[in-house]
Amino acid sequence: MDGERAVPSEGGPRWRTWTLVAMAILGAATVAALVLALGEANRQRDRAAAAQAHSYDVMVVSRTLAGTIARSEAALGRYVISGDRRLGQSYVDDWRLAATQLDRLTKLTGDNRVQRASTGQLRAAFAQRGDELSMIALSTSYQKNAQALARYYKAREAPALHAIDRTMKELIGEERRLLNRRISNAERAGAKASAIARILSVFGVCIVLAAILLGVLTVRALADRAAAEAAADAAELRAVDLAEAVTRATDELRAQEAKLRQSQKMEAIGQLTGGIAHDFNNMLAVVSGGLELARRNIADRDAVLRHVDSAAEGAARAAALTRQLLAFSREGSLKPEAIEAGALVRGMTDLLDRALGDGITMQVVDQAGEWRVFGDRVQIENAILNLAVNARDAMDGRGEMTVRAAARALRKDEVGHCAAGDYVALSVTDTGCGMTPAVLERVFEPFFTTKPVGEGTGLGLSQVFALVRQLGGEVGIETEPGRGSTVALYLPRRSTGDTPTEIETERPLPLPATRSALRILLVEDDPRVLSASVSALEELGHEPIACGDPLEAPAVLAQAGTVDLVVTDVLMPRQTGPEMIAGLLKRQPELPVLYVTGYAGDAGSAGTFEGHQVLRKPFTLAALERAVAAAVQDTGGTGVGDTVAAA
């Protein structure tokens, strides 16, 4: 019996041992399978996380590139408006940084065929946009501010800019679609890993409760991690949507800002119109008053001449104001000469006395010695006169004023952004109301004025600023409310031995011998101007044939037979002068032509006048005589297109 019991007793442990071994092997296999499954799930999760991180890198670099481009263009806009070279350098630095970011974006998107094509388009648009902005910066560097500003506003609607925005949106949209697919893959991988873990947990529940518990905890941890990552991805997408909403709101704000800017422009135009009317009324009062006094004193020859001279001076001032307005609307060329600053200031004493009135006690101080500046004498005198008139208005027509010419040696950037060297300081000091910081900040803006509507154009000081910058100088202002102001123009000193190399000096046109009593076809749509021009030509001994309509000129010419010259206005309502001349020249190719225009911008178009002479209104008899002589000598085939000054 003992032997029979011994068999089970030996077989039982052996069975249990094999069972334990089998359970251990099964448990080890289960654990190994669980480990392999979890390892594969982790690897899939890591690959998904890496792919998601790559997508985030692409979107972050894309938005950073867009921000850098916008910041660079904003710096360029401020550079165009202010002319500050530091802003220009900021634009260059940001644009180079944008190029580096574009290289990184190209590298990141190199593994995607669609994104590689979009990146290539973006790089081409970026290069084209860089060329456009470089032209704007170059115009500003050469102080062609009006041209640079026009190009800058035009560049805001350039195709390259729209191409950059469109391509950036396509890149981000493509990457967002990839990100959504990668999030879905990560969620499926997590779900698959969870299913495998549950199945293996069922097999291992009989083996070791601790392994089951550990597996459950591991699965739950993985599920929580996947859920957290999904929530983070959703939050990132919400952030992207929020950024797009902010961009749309910014675009709307810019549109409103553009409307406000247009309203301000219209207000400035109204203010300018009132100021011009005020100035012209003053000048017309001088003209009409002088003519009326001459009529009343017709028997007194000296009095008549004096009043006629006064009227002529008023007309000349009106013509000068017109030239200033036209010069402000375009970049006019200067005709400078070497000018002794002290002599120029001393020579303006009488002019300033007449302009300022008896209520101003004026003192002219010459501390410049024989130092010279190189500039246009008339424009420098106008600049000083503008400063003096503004000073008079600041003192309400009563006070003390000092006009000074002084020699100064300036350090680099001592005044504005001036270079180190010798300068002649032309300054006007008054005892007026002074300027507040707000007024001082805007004092050189075009159309800005503190005078009431109709009493100032706001052009004077902006022209002074432009003139000084064209001559390579700087403007300095010392002011304090209630204590007066000193405005100084610092112009580079010109050595007496220097000679100009790029400035053409004005020489009178030669007066070739012409036949007396020329037969001249005169075409002018304004009856008063036509009558005055006929009288002027008759006064010069010529035989004018008047024509008040350019469409009737061919018939008048055919009826008149042979004429020696055609004198025509440029801008006429039914047909322009150049259009009329083009038709006449088809019949008589050698017919001499003289254009007369009151718009200075016309004379800058050589293609419009085909090399014929141009005379600007208003003109004197001497200027008309020179123009007629030059036009008769020039048959129109030379292509020169000289403009005869209205002197």
Range with the poorest average pLDDT among 196-200, 484-488, 522-526: 196-200
Q: Give residue 335's identity as a one-letter amino acid code.
A: K
% of the chain residues with pLDDT over 90? 9
pLDDT > 70: percent of the chain: 73
How far apart are alpha carbons 56 and 38 in whole angstroms? 26
Would you list the DSSP string of 16-41? HHHHHHHHHHHHHHHHHHHHHHHHHH
Q: What mean pLDDT is predicted for residues 8-29?
A: 64
- Identify the CA nearest to 562 among candidates 515, 607, 605: 515
| Residue appearing with tokens 């801008």 | 571
**106 or 523, which is more confident?**
523
Angle at 611 between CA 607 and CA 613, to 5 degrees: 120
User: In a 3-state reduction of DSSP, which class is residue 403?
Assistant: strand
Q: Which residues contact 372 (CB under 8 A, 6 or more apart)?
A: 338, 339, 340, 341, 424, 493, 494, 495, 496
Find out whether 331 and 146 touch, Cβ atoms under 8 Å.
Answer: yes
Mean pLDDT of all residues in 622-630? 89
How is residue 503 written in tokens?
């400035």
pLDDT (average), residues 603-615? 66
**What confidence tens digit (pLDDT) does each residue in 296-313 have?**
777 777 777 776 876 777
- The H-or-E segment that residue 161 falls in is helix 159-204
Lowest mean pLDDT among 104-108, 156-160, 331-335, 449-453: 331-335
CA 241 from chain centre, in angstroms, equals: 33
* Residue with the larger pLDDT of the pair 542 and 274: 542
Confidence category of residue 642, pLDDT binned at 50, 70, 90: very low
Pairing, β 613-616 against β 643-644 = parallel
CB of 465 within 8 A of CB of 487? no
Tracing tokens 């560049």 back to the chain, one arrives at 155
What average pLDDT does range 163-181 have in this prediction?
80
Question: In terms of C-beta distances under 8 Å and separation of at least 24 residues, what long-range contacts does 87-94 make, across chains too?
Answer: 88/137, 88/140, 88/141, 91/133, 91/137, 92/137, 94/68, 94/69
Nearest Cα neighbor of 441 from 492, 477, 413, 490 is 477
Rounded mean pLDDT, 498-524? 56
User: Does residue 334 carry a pLDDT above 70?
Assistant: no
Distance of CA 265 to the CA centre of its chain: 15
DSSP 505: P
How, if at all, do strands 519-523 and 565-569 pair? parallel
Rounded to an integer, what is the distance from CA 139 to the centroid of its chain? Answer: 9
Query: Which has the closest alpha carbon to 614: 647, 584, 587, 641?
Result: 641
Confidence at 522, pLDDT banded by 50, 70, 90 = very high
* pLDDT at 91 (0 to 100): 80
- 148-160 pLDDT, tens digit per residue, is 777 777 777 778 7
User: For the purposes of burial, counting CB atoms within 10 Å of the CB of 427, is it exposed (0-12), middle (13-18) or buried (19 or more)?
Assistant: buried
| Mean pLDDT on 13-20 | 64
Question: How confident is the model at residue 566, as a pLDDT?
Answer: 95
DSSP assigned state of 601: G
On the 0-12 / 13-18 / 19+ scale of CB atoms within 10 A, 550 is buried
Highest mean pLDDT among 27-36, 215-224, 262-271, 360-369: 360-369
CB-CB contact of 521 with 560 (8 Å): yes
Map tokens 């050589």 to a residue: 606
411 vs 286, more confident: 411
Could you read off the pLDDT of 356-386 as tens digits, one per residue?
Answer: 777 888 888 988 888 999 887 877 888 888 8
Q: Write down the pLDDT at residue 361.
A: 86
Highest-scoring range by mean pLDDT, 127-141, 546-560, 604-618: 546-560
Beta sheet of 565-569, edge-to-edge order? 543-547, 519-523, 565-569, 593-597, 613-616, 643-644
| Locus of tokens 């009043």 | 307
- Stronger pLDDT, 493 or 162, i.e. the higher one: 493
Confidence of residue 523 (pLDDT cuts 50, 70, 90): very high
Element (H, E) at 43: helix 2-82
Q: Residue range 171-187: average pLDDT?
A: 78
For 172-183, the DSSP string reads HHHHHHHHHHHH
CA–CA dist 460, 68 (Å, integer): 39
Q: What span, in angstroms and rounded, lies between the C-alpha atoms of 517 and 509? A: 21
Return the higher-pLDDT residue of 133 and 220. Answer: 133
Domains delineated in the chain: 14-207 (1.20.120), 337-494 (3.30.565.10), 519-644 (3.40.50.2300)
pLDDT tens digit sequence for 87-96: 878 888 888 8
Tell which residue, 435, 373, 440, has the closest CA to residue 406.
373
d(CA 347, CA 238): 74
Average pLDDT over the chain, rounded to an integer: 75
Which of 138-147, 351-360, 381-390, 597-606 is predicted least confidently?
597-606
Of the candidates 119, 75, 124, 113, the one whose C-alpha atom is nearest the C-alpha of residue 97 is 75
Residue 602 has pLDDT above 50, yes or no: no
> Residue 100 half-sphere exposure, CB side, CA atoms within 13 Å?
7
- Between 157 and 585, the higher pLDDT residue: 585
User: Average pLDDT in the 33-38 region?
Assistant: 74
CA gap 440, 485 in Å, rounded: 10
Reported as a pLDDT band with limits 50, 70 and 90, residue 267 is low
Alpha helices (runs of H) in 417-551, residue ranges in sequence order: 437-442, 460-470, 527-539
Q: Picking from 419-428, 499-508, 539-548, 616-625, which range would have the lowest pLDDT averaged per residue?
A: 499-508
pLDDT at 7 over 90: no
The answer to whether 137 and 79 are in contact (CB under 8 A) is yes
Instruction: Answer yes or no: is pLDDT of 36 > 70.
Output: yes
- How confident is the model over 196-245, as pLDDT tens digits? 767 767 766 776 665 566 555 566 766 777 888 888 888 888 888 888 88
Residues 228-233: contacts with CB within 8 Å, 24+ apart? 229/49, 229/52, 229/186, 230/183, 230/186, 230/187, 233/52, 233/179, 233/183
Q: How far apart are CA 85 and CA 7, in angstroms?
A: 105
The span from the first CA to the last CA of the chain, in angstroms, equals 152
Span 555-584, average pLDDT: 90
Which residue bears the tokens 């008149």?
A: 560
* The overall pTM is greater than 0.85: no
Query: Is 383:467 a contact under the CB 8 Å cutoff?
Result: yes
- pLDDT at 29 > cutoff 90: no
pLDDT band for position 628 (cuts 50, 70, 90): very high
Segment 461-467 shows an average pLDDT of 73
Instruction: Kindly state the tokens that stand for 147.
Output: 């041209």
